[in-house]
Structure 1
């Protein structure tokens, strides 16, 4: 995007909502602590998200209420997205504040703006399961190891369980999502968290003092007040807020039936109804086999990974996603000003090699390419046929070969599945999760998956050796694999 700036506006559903009236109707909270003894509050998050600003607002509001205040900020490498801790202690009797740092197990309230940062050892030491109130933002930030190893998973449920076990009470909210939808600015997430916390009684401060502290933000005061008000409503009337945004307050987990249905619908748009039906029938085949063992996890793994292989992102699909969805319109809605699109593609034959890597590089195209994309998107019926010239690339042939193998593996697993083989079969069918990237990056990824697949097939085969003849798909049998597969996926021993 050129000549544009990010737009900061809430979703349309909030335009007719009387925010001031809704907030005025709220009952004031009952603070969980008075000022006769020190209030110990810790805010934790990552750099650049306003944690220190939020801590400063709490400290300023406490001073306006007539309290003595002590603060201590640990920013470390915060400027690079590192961990930030802000200790805020206040009391009507300033002589009771002997230090600024919260002692071990002495936190009254911990505001976790990022759950990854919130479970570090230096944070958990101030918790007490008999004393500490915790409010956690469900946002998960990427860590350094995650950038280096994409297979790392945060495991947010485990982090939440850990915070819950250390807290006297915990409340959770996706503040970033709500701030973006309700306020139009994700950067107001921590101010929204303050409103949420205050309405739940976790901040023993007067509303007037908080409002005066927000006024001190200068040109940001107006939007901060709005974020604080929405935070209060999110705490007091969460069901109405979710209804306003068209969200469900139930479990966010996608059930198996809707998972399969959504992917079937996608494949219809991707190719056609018969292609989607091929997906459904193969998933049902494995589902019937797994249900006999009382298992649903294998079906879910197959449903996700078979879809991934069937919906490989070739030139036709890239074009379709650009011009036959709301992609361009949604991008335009997120920016203000006169926008100009620039598309960076790596078309075969004409794309030059990158001087640094020696691999195929990219070419920038102007808006004139959009009609070409529309024409290319309509050519999806050529996919996989003898007239598919684009499909003759090594990457496209490897993708089709991988899909054919996977489908035969699924059919084979449906015949030989037992409770003992279930873990191995689940690992085998989950391998496509490790396939990432495009072009030469994807081909290298396929080679790694191919090695691991051989290992798993050998283990499954050993469990079958004394039971049934070798029924494994022919081109999965190590040295006997066809020569064309060796050339596409990589040489095998």
Structure 2
């Protein structure tokens, strides 16, 4: 039960100046994050989004969506920090959008029908209203109907927009089945739904879709939820005459510092392709009359135009990384694993790791002509060896790359506070029995490099953290996993190869900290004892 003001109501009050917007931001140190999802589980927050990395799926905060109620900090994880004195910045340094030639705008003889489909809280209704007002400023007819359902962040929203030469030419605003001339898909999942696609004509409808992966609400409680983006794109392509897909959310975040401008950027893309029968000057005037983030929305519209004109140039200007983590070779995974374990503080363990995974690969290639099992083992064994204990968390928080990320995203004056439950300092919650997290300021941040250098104590009788149940459990896991892999190798053959790979992959479910990790370890051990993988 969440005893707090509704998030939508809080946003309304903040926009009206009735209450102040908290200046403190939550940030996730990706290197520390284990991807366990406890932060989302305790907060039920849709601002916690997945990010795919070479070590698997992790989490990050979408600052454009975050309601700043800080419930996620109750998740049992030291990766979540708060940043004070922060200013969310344009991360690419791209500057102003380039000038591109304007397309020929043709006003059709019959009413133009447009469906704008997206999710609540992202400005879907606003985009439709701005385009409708732009048409009216030109003396054209325009009508709009918004179907927003219940007041729910990330709930489906659909706007029906009609534009005609004269107001009297519009007999009905609602788009009839198969009657959409343009589908502006502000959210991939919503745009691919049956409700939206039934408005499209495979012979006539043009689609411009934001294919950014916005996870549904189930993700807050299912950290491994799959998002079949390829299937959704295929459904949209099959239902329309032409479909263009771009990650407008990522572009808006990189170019403008806020994903809230994604829908206006998408509208600019559609306009540049000549699909929206309204002059640019009218669209810009409607943005000014709307009076909200005028310069940013104009820039978003023009960046969208540039993205339609020369998408590669805009991607370079945004400085974006590839849309998906490319599949790595065995050698790349192994080298990264060796480097991780050495940085963790044990060169001997790194060499032992290298020897073991190379033998797994040799046996697998001899018997099955593949290295899929070896790639899985190389990735998972490195994670189990280089556990994120107190020394490793300190090293990752003190790392220069993390400090530079904070400076780049939030400015020179940003101050970081840590939220942790150190075993020697944390008190237990009398209700849940779990350790309570505490907030630590500059003195703890300054202590991180010193604690990281003390990792030579790890595993020795002088290690003050090594006697806890969690550390003893973690020390046992690499040996247990190696023993499991040895059993898989003993019976490895082409007919058992697939099952062996899936069994070895079970270790990716081992993640988190404290009681969260203990629960995943118990589940892993139960699966193995039940006979997974033979």
**Which residue does the alignment assign to 1:271?**
345
Return the alpha-carbon distance in structure 1 between the equivalents of residues 389 and 204 of structure 2.
56
- CA deviation map 1:410-429 (0-9, x unaligned): 23433432222122212211
Q: CA deviation at 1:332?
A: 4.3
| Contact map agreement 1:62 1:209 (CA 8 A) in 2 | yes
Pairing 1:283–2:357 present: yes
* Partner residue, 1:395: 470
Under a length normalisation based on structure 1, what TM-score does the superposition of the two structures give? 0.84
Q: Do structure 1's residue 47 and structure 2's residue 117 form an aligned pair? A: no
Shift of 1:377: 0.6
2:170 maps to which of 97, 112, 127:
97
Q: d(CA) in 2 for partners of 1:4 and 1:370?
A: 14
Residues in 2 aligned to 1:276 and 1:201: alpha-carbon distance in whole angstroms = 58
In structure 1, distance between residues paired with 2:512 and 2:335: 26
Match of 2:91 among 6, 11, 21: 11
Identify the range of structure 1 (228-237 vs 277-286) with the bigger mean alpha-carbon deviation.
Answer: 277-286
The equivalent residue for 1:466 is none
Higher-RCO chain (CA-CA 8 Å, sequence separation at least 6): 2
Residues 1:60 and 2:139 aligned together = no
Distance in 2 between the 1:171 and 1:263 partners? 38
1:238-292: CA deviation from partner (whole Å, max 9, x where unpaired): 2222333444679752433544444443333223444444444433333344445
Helix, strand or coil for the counterpart of 2:215? coil
After superposition, the Cα gap between the structure-2 partners of 1:380 and 1:142, relative to the gap in structure 1 and judged at 3 Å, is: same
Aligned pair partner of 1:118 in 191, 195, 205: 191
1:34-433 matches, within 5 Å, as: 34-247=107-320, 252-256=325-329, 257-291=331-365, 293-335=368-410, 339-433=414-508
Q: Deviations over 1:43-97 (max 9, x none)?
A: 1221111111111111112223332112111112343321111111112144443
Q: Is the 8 A contact 1:64 1:209 kept in 2?
A: yes
Alignment match, 1:451: 526
What residue is the counterpart of 1:482 in the other structure? none
The TM-score with structure 2 as length reference comes to 0.78
Residue aligned with 2:416, SS: coil
Shift of 1:116: 2.0
Q: Taking structure 1 as reference, are residues 157 and 170 closer, same or farther at Cα in structure 2, changes over 3 Å only?
A: same
Q: Which has the higher helix share?
A: 1
State the alpha-carbon separation in 1 of the partners of residues 196 and 369 from structure 2: 41
- Are 2:254 and 2:320, in contact at CA under 8 Å, matched by a contact in 1? no
Structure label with greater radius of gyration: 1
Kept in 2: contact 1:52–1:86 (CA 8 A): yes
**Range with greater deviation from structure 2 (233-242 or 378-387):** 378-387
Compared CA separation, residues 350 and 11, structure 1 to 2 (3 A):
closer
Could you say if the C-alpha distance between residues 443 and 41 of structure 1 is closer, same or farther in structure 2, counting changes exceeding 3 Å? same
The answer to whether the 8 Å contact 1:282/1:411 transfers is no
Q: Distance in 1 between matches of 2:323 and 2:229?
A: 17
Aligned counterparts of 1:412 and 1:3: Cα–Cα separation in 2: 47
Cα deviation 1:359-418 (Å, max 9, x = unaligned): 121222221112321111112233334443312211122122222111232234334322
Separation in 1, partners of 2:155, 2:222: 18
What is the CA–CA distance in structure 2 between the aligned matches of 1:77 and 1:425, rounded to whole Å?
A: 47
- TM-align CA RMSD: 2.6
Moved more, 242-251 or 175-184: 242-251
Which secondary structure does the structure 1 equivalent of 2:293 belong to? helix
**What CA distance in whole angstroms lies between the structure 2 residues aligned with 1:339 and 1:13?**
18
SS in 2 for 1:127: coil
Q: How many residues are paired up?
A: 452
